[in-house]
């Protein structure tokens, strides 16, 4: 499932889902996915993510998993 969310001409596409068979926790897989998109320049400054509930639906996880991933990303950003 691929979803685009537009906000002032900025679009973020979520075209991936976590591997439920992987031993790495799903929230960590989401952190890695988002970090990779940003570091590769696929998502530019000012790009908007979909709402947490929609992200959870797209990723096939509970909203709390998305919240945990976003909290870890926010923490990592504050360390830099």
Q: Give the range of the structural domain holding residue 25, as residue numbers without chain letter.
A: 3-79
Query: How confident is residue 7, by pLDDT bands cut at 50, 70 and 90?
Result: very low
Instruction: Give the pLDDT confidence score for residue 44 in this predicted structure.
Output: 87
Instruction: Enumerate the β-bridge partners of residue 47.
Output: none
By three-state DSSP, how is residue 12 classified?
Answer: strand
All residues at 6 or more sequence positions from 47 whose CB lies less than 8 Å from its CB, including other chains? 7, 10, 11, 12
What is the number of structural domains in the chain?
1
Chain segment 42-59, per-residue pLDDT in tens: 998 889 999 999 999 999
| Distance between CA atoms of residues 4 and 12, nearest Å | 6
Question: Which tokens belong to 31?
Answer: 């952190």
Helix then strand then coil, in percent of the chain rounded to 5, is: 50, 10, 40
- What CATH number does the domain containing 9 carry? 1.10.10
């Amino acid at each position: 499932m691929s979803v685009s969310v537009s906000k002032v001409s900025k679009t973020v596409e979520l075209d991936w889902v976590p591997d439920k068979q992987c031993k790495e926790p799903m929230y960590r897989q989401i952190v890695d996915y988002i970090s990779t998109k940003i570091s590769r320049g696929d998502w530019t400054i000012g790009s908007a993510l979909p709402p947490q509930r929609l992200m959870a639906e797209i990723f096939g996880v509970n909203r709390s998993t998305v919240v945990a991933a976003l909290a870890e990303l926010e923490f990592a950003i504050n360390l830099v």
